[in-house]
Amino acid sequence: MARTFNLFISHSWTYGDAYDRLVELLNKKPYFSFKNYSVPKDDPIHKTPNDTLLYQSIKQQMRPSHIVIILSGVYATYSKWINKEIRRAQTEFATPKSILAVEPWGAERTSRVVCDNADRIVKWNTDAIVDGIRALVDERLS
């Protein structure tokens, strides 16, 4: 029986095309099943009246995930939300969430903040990403 991986993919809504491409890669991978707990651009969660409620809503989305995937483009360095999500993944759950950093396709520079906090860093390649997910979940469950 195939395992289903619960994923929270942190991303900047401003750069949603990279998020969409990543989800598409994962959807096309044979023998790989996942549930996406991310917050897409059109989710009503964006209508929360303040940052505190948005923070709590994102935490609830992250709660059931096995790992947190972060696109490590340079924009991540300047995103207050990605930095908060790193801290949340590492400190706000009984068992910290592992972080998988995915370097964007063709990127010459990546976010030092994301790379310094990642449990594993992979290139923008479907097999590398899936192998990274499987390895981090296996480590977490062992």
CATH code, 24: 3.40.50.9200
Q: Do residues 36 and 20 touch, judged by C-beta distance below 8 A? A: no
Residue position matching structure tokens 């964007």: 104
Measure the CA–CA gap between 135 and 78, rounded to whole angstroms. 29
pTM above 0.75, yes or no: yes
Cα(121)–Cα(129) distance, integer angstroms? 9
What are the backbone angles phi and psi of residue 88, rounded to the nearest 5°?
-60, -45
Looking at this protein, which amino acid is placed at residue 24?
Answer: E
Q: How far apart are CA 20 and CA 90, in angstroms?
A: 25
Q: Which domain holds residue 82?
A: 4-141
Give the 3-state secondary structure percentages of the chain, helix then strand then coil, rounded to 5. Answer: 50, 20, 30
> Letter for the amino acid at 71?
L
Q: Tell me the backbone φ, ψ of residue 121, rounded to 5 degrees.
A: -120, 130
From first to last of its 142 residues, the chain has per-residue pLDDT tens of 579 999 999 866 555 688 889 999 999 999 999 999 987 666 656 566 677 777 888 888 899 999 999 988 755 555 677 888 899 999 999 999 999 999 877 766 778 888 899 999 999 999 999 999 999 999 987 7
Count structural domains, the chain: 1
